[in-house]
Structure 1
Amino acid sequence: MHRISRLIIYPIKSLGGIELTSAKVTDRGLEHDRRWMLIDDDNRFLSQREYAQLALCQVSLEHDGLKVTYTPDESFITIPFKPLKQDTLEVTIWDDTCIGQLVSDEVDSWFTEKLRKGCRLIYMPDETHRQTDLRYTGEGMVTSFSDAYPLLLIGQSALDDLNTRLEEPLPMNRFRPNIVFTGGSPYSEDLMNHIQINNLNFYGVKLCARCIMTTIDQQTLAKGKEPLKTLAKYRRKDNKILFGQNIALTDTGVIHVGDELTVLSMHTDDRFIINTNPAI
């Protein structure tokens, strides 16, 4: 049996995550997940790939908004759920361009000071619909400011297996999943096609290619070669290192830690099979 063990959201792209016991599923992912994003002077998104110090900004949910704490000096700022500004602009995230809404001048100044980098915080309004890649998902499936898809699913057994191959085990936060489940064999998520959680339908659409963000310690910012060095030995396909599966969705509702994850169908396409066919 597969069962949800962790639910995690990352309200501001590339900043710290928040663990939940239950989460509302919206049309573009878990509620609040990556609805905010920092952009540079060219209106392009900021990421830990270039600015590792983003990991030092930890986020928590408060009754009136998001509390962001800069851990080196424990200073913080509260970001309202609804932006104080009405200004919108086109922003770039990878190959996509979409409309974002500025939040507040005070927030922009705070992040600029802490990160020592000119930046602004934007919010994705409900009116913005960012289509997911039509090569892998259906028309009308949308996502927030995530890299490409609404959700990332990883089995705890996959991380456990990886850690047996490493000299020093790594925490799950290196991989930034939204849903973690227990049960099943390592990497069983690779082949999950149609799944249900609390009667809501989810669809595995593409294995997740991993980047250098996985090599950044989220507390110290220390960088190393792992886990990519080890994963490359047994999780490489078409010159990409794969870990976890990207998930699209069609339903809205609520899911909880402890909910059963039911696999209704499995992938048979070769692009979901790495080395051997992991059993579900």
Structure 2
Amino acid sequence: MTARVVSLHTYPIKGCAGVASTSAFLTPAGLAHDRTFMVVDEEGVFRSQREDPLLATIRPEVLDDGRALALAAPGAGEVRVEVDLDGPRRPVEMLGNPYKGIDQGDAVAAWLTGVLGRPSRLVRVPPEHDRTTDGETPGRAGFADSGALLLTSQASWAELDRRIGERRAEPVAMERFRPNVVVDGWSEPHVEDRVRELTIGGADLAFAKLAIRCAVTLVDQRTGRRAGPEPLRTLADYRRISTLGVAFGAKFSVLRTGWLAVGDELVVRRWADPPGGG
């Protein structure tokens, strides 16, 4: 079953719109510039599409190899940030865990506050950020929820939309799942669940965990409006993983850094053992 990369996506600001590219460098913590920024409230607690779905309408652009950032949103114009890597570190909190961030100033904070309608600030991962993520293969990550890289397949998406269609409900776009790498070529859905080690382009990856999906998948990523109950309702019918929730896609840790590109073949070097071993 030959699969190839059909799209690559980074999310420079956690919770905000993604940026598609034809090639990207995979660092130890994921695709370059992925989730290196995060929007927080006045206390430093991260903002998520779970409570602030309008984050999806904020479109970032990484400039000058990460030394600058431009943000745009409908009706709000654009703001440019000269990225500060040397400012004082401030406490931030994500999913109940404490980290450090570098505040990016009052101008972008005022702009974000205007877009979201609540006091907000932008912070960046410090250069010394050294966060270890859990899973079958531990890894590193910036401000991603967990895991360096999220991989999904067109076959899995097609199966989900087929089942949603049986309910006479509207299909959902793949962007609801906010993947980093989307692949096509597998004839069966959820083959990514069984991959344990693989090579893509010049990089090697190892399975960390299944991606347990949350209410962010209910948000229309183009309008910033919650549009549930799909896909969670249908995923609950056939993708419930014990008490963890429902799964779609798989998260991988980085074993070897390197370039990935659209069109690269996935070379699976190890599969999960079949149930019962053997």
For normalisation by structure 2, the TM-score amounts to 0.91
Q: Structure 1 CA distance, aligned partners of 2:140 and 2:77?
A: 35
Q: Provide the residue aligned with 1:154 in structure 2.
A: 152
Q: Provide the residue aligned with 2:251 in structure 1.
A: 246
RMSD: 1.6
For the pair 1:228 / 2:232, whether they are aligned, the reply is yes
In structure 2, the CA distance between the partners of 1:84 and 1:143, relative to structure 1 (3 Å rule), is closer
Secondary structure, in 3 states, of the residue corresponding to 2:182?
A: strand
Q: Provide the residue aligned with 2:60 in structure 1.
A: 59
Q: Structure 2 CA distance, aligned partners of 1:40 and 1:262?
A: 42
What amino acid maps onto 1:160 in structure 2? A
Equivalent residues of 2:202, 2:259 under 8 A apart = no
Equivalent residues of 1:85, 1:102 under 8 A apart = no
In structure 2, the CA distance between the partners of 1:111 and 1:74, relative to structure 1 (3 Å rule), is closer
Q: Provide the residue aligned with 1:181 in structure 2.
A: 183
Q: Structure 1 CA distance, aligned partners of 2:273 and 2:42?
A: 45
Among 207, 211, 214, the alignment partner of 2:210 is 207
How far apart are residue 145 of structure 1 and its match?
Answer: 0.1
Q: Structure 2 CA distance, aligned partners of 1:182 and 1:79?
A: 36
Q: Provide the residue aligned with 1:268 in structure 2.
A: 273
Q: Provide the residue aligned with 1:4 in structure 2.
A: 5
What amino acid maps onto 1:110 in structure 2? W
Once the two structures are superposed, residues 80-128 of structure 1 have per-residue CA deviations (whole angstroms, 9 ceiling, x without a partner) of 3x31761211211114222211112211111112211111110002211
Kindly report which structure 2 residues correspond to 1:1-280, keeping only aligned pairs within 5 A, or say none: 1-63=2-64, 65-71=68-74, 73-80=75-82, 82-83=83-84, 86-133=87-134, 135-138=135-138, 141-166=139-164, 167-184=169-186, 185-220=188-223, 221-239=225-243, 240-268=245-273
Once the two structures are superposed, residues 19-68 of structure 1 have per-residue CA deviations (whole angstroms, 9 ceiling, x without a partner) of 00000111211000000001112211110001111111122333463221
In structure 2, the CA distance between the partners of 1:122 and 1:233, relative to structure 1 (3 Å rule), is same
Identity of aligned residues (%): 35
Once the two structures are superposed, residues 121-147 of structure 1 have per-residue CA deviations (whole angstroms, 9 ceiling, x without a partner) of 1000221111112x5334xx3101000
Q: Which runs of 5+ in 1 are unaligned?
A: 271-280
Once the two structures are superposed, residues 209-260 of structure 1 have per-residue CA deviations (whole angstroms, 9 ceiling, x without a partner) of 1011101112231422000111110111213100000110122221101111
Between 82-91 and 99-108, the greater mean CA deviation after superposition: 82-91
Secondary structure, in 3 states, of the residue corresponding to 1:250?
A: strand
What amino acid maps onto 2:153 in structure 1? G
Q: Provide the residue aligned with 1:278 in structure 2.
A: none
Q: Structure 2 CA distance, aligned partners of 1:213 and 1:153?
A: 17
What amino acid maps onto 2:137 in structure 1? T
Equivalent residues of 2:136, 2:207 under 8 A apart = no
Q: Which runs of 5+ in 2 are unaligned?
A: none
**Matched length:** 265
Equivalent residues of 1:154, 1:189 under 8 A apart = yes
Equivalent residues of 1:85, 1:103 under 8 A apart = no
Between 91-100 and 124-133, the greater mean CA deviation after superposition: 91-100
Equivalent residues of 1:204, 1:246 under 8 A apart = yes
Equivalent residues of 2:91, 2:101 under 8 A apart = yes
Q: Provide the residue aligned with 1:274 in structure 2.
A: none
In structure 2, the CA distance between the partners of 1:163 and 1:15, relative to structure 1 (3 Å rule), is same
In structure 2, the CA distance between the partners of 1:116 and 1:84, relative to structure 1 (3 Å rule), is farther
Equivalent residues of 2:76, 2:115 under 8 A apart = no
Q: Structure 2 CA distance, aligned partners of 1:222 and 1:47?
A: 13
Between 204-213 and 87-96, the greater mean CA deviation after superposition: 87-96
